[in-house]
Structure 1
Amino acid sequence: MSLIIQSALPDIAISHFVHSFWMLENNTGKEIPSTLLPNGMVDLAVMNIDADNWEISIRGLDTVPSEVNIPIDAKMYSIGFKLLAVEYLFGDSIKDVLNDGKIISDTIWQFKKSDLDTFENFCFKAAEIIKSIFIEEIDIRKKKLFEMIYSAEGSVTVTELSENVFWSSRQINRYFNQQFGISLKGYCNILRFGSSFKHISKGKLYPEQNFTDQNHFIKQIKKYSGVTPKELSKNKDNRFMDIVAIIKANSKND
């Protein structure tokens, strides 16, 4: 009996909208207390309520760690979306679900039972659904803005972004606050924090992103996780699922 976690990257056709696909299955025979960490993604989750019923929900950005319990026999598939997907796939703001989630209609996200039999089936069907959604031409400023943010893993200044996409910092911040409920700088800080997981999971407890110094690094990690980098690295009782998932992914790729 074990906790099963799988992940997969999207094909290039939808990579500007999707960060990754995930599956979690709790076969441990017990409820698992866990902490959700801010990672810069908007998650659409499909979770089993019982053998024949699945619930679809969307979770907005997290800016603080959140305590959750993973039920016995829970099985969940999820899509980790990049922020560009909010406007062009969902067509609505998610600021009302900052640090929270809500059940959504399955008008678009229709999964048949066979689509949820395996992780591979889910990834295939999810990609099909995304590709079938009619998308208006993407604003070139927004596309370039997010390309820069993600390629830098959040380690980029608001001024630098504004100058490169020819969009004032005031307008960008208005867009971020209206769409996502957070400022551009706040989002970049969270993305930089999330990108540190892969180093911390390997026991590298010094900054590898654009942190001012070691003290700044420790303060930022503690701000978004509630613990020090050392405690996050130890991950006692597998409390932080993001770290568990990264370690499993690393062992799979080694």
Structure 2
Amino acid sequence: MRSITFSYVPPLEDLKGDVEHFRIAEYAGSEGTAIKVCPNGLPGLVFQHHNGDSAIKCIVTNSGRIVHLPTLFLHGQITELAVMNFKSGSYLSVQAVLKPHALKTLFGMDASILTNANRWYPDFSGEELNAQLVNDAKSGQECVELLSTFLLAKLRHARPRDLLVEESLSFIHENIKAITVKDLLRHLHISERQYEKRFVQTVGVTPQFYIRVKRFNEAIRLMDTGEYERLSDVAYALNFHDQSHFIRDIKQFSGITPKNISQKVNQFHHDHIGASYQ
């Protein structure tokens, strides 16, 4: 992704409970681009434009195609590889990468409704914010400041937090190399049926699926370190049942095999938020 420059801005202290980072992407070329985005377990609030109009032509997944996206939209969990097709010309994209639970706490939404879907800015009272971003913001940093002010206002009217689900998310992240749902249930002292219902409403996917996605992203991170000579070593480090399960998940979420990922080293972009490639 040499043609696209990325920069990251940490959230304000008050937003750290609900926002991971702000990611600014700037493209200065003239040709249209297609970026393949892998699932990462994180929803987001996205502003993107070229001269005040949406820079995205369409988003394509195995399940369908999304067209006519607005300059500002909110998206939920993505469960499959998504290809974002951008129009010709330069563009700016600024994303508030949200914590997995933030759709419920900040926006009062059942997160499962937004899985593999999005909401336009009028649906979450973002009309004024969109106008400010389009008309007033002169840089990615100014976009971040406007998005932060908007999210702080949401935070002041935040819904009650599901602290048990948030605790389980932390437990998953801390133990991603070996965690199972059974481990979670023992740790939380809760029935599987009750826990899964609360998790899906708060996060948007089942805990089993969320663990698979986070383990996939950890696998990409480990492969990117160069510390492992063989792919089987990565699979072993993450306690996959066998290498076939490892290859299946990598291919399902990235669209390519682990071996091919190493061959796309100049096209593959991985950071603390997720993985994507052109």
Whether TM-score is above 0.5 comes out as yes
TM range (shorter): 0.7 to 0.9
Q: Please identify, of 203-212 and 64-73, the stretch whose mean Cα deviation from structure 2 is larger.
A: 203-212
Alignment of 1:53-202 (within 5 A): 55-71=71-87, 72-105=89-122, 107-108=125-126, 110=129, 112-113=132-133, 116-133=137-154, 134-153=157-176, 155-202=178-225
Q: Report the CA distance between 1:37 and its aligned residue.
A: 0.6
Q: Name the amino acid aligned to 1:30.
A: E
SS at match of 2:193: helix
Match of 1:252 in 2: none
Which residue of structure 2 aligns with residue 215 of structure 1?
Answer: 244
Between the aligned partners of 1:70 and 1:201, the Cα distance in structure 2 is 27
Further displaced range: 154-163 or 113-122:
113-122
Residues 228-254 of structure 1 show CA distances to partners (whole Å, capped at 9, x for unaligned) of 11212333772xxxx42539x9xxxxx
Aligned residues: 244
TM norm structure 2: 0.75
Unaligned runs of 5+ in 2: 55-69
Contact 1:7 1:23 in 2 (8 A): yes
Task: Extract unaligned runs of 5+ from structure 1.
Answer: 250-254
Q: Percent identity between the aligned chains?
A: 21
* Superposition pairs of residues 242-253 of structure 1, within 5 angstroms: 243-246=268-271
What value does the CA root-mean-square deviation take over the aligned residues?
A: 2.9
Taking structure 1 as the reference length, the TM-score comes to: 0.81
Which residue is equivalent to 1:230?
Answer: 259
Q: Please list the CA deviations of residues 128-176 of structure 1 after superposition, one character each: whole Å capped at 9, or x if unmatched.
A: 3323322244233223122212333474211222222233221121123
- Asked whether the 8 Å contact 1:154–1:191 carries over to 2, the reply is no
Deviation of 1:181 after TM superposition, in Å, equals: 4.4
- SS of 1:196's partner is helix
Q: Is the 8 A contact 1:145 1:161 kept in 2?
A: yes
Alpha-carbon shift at residue 89 of structure 1 (Å): 0.4
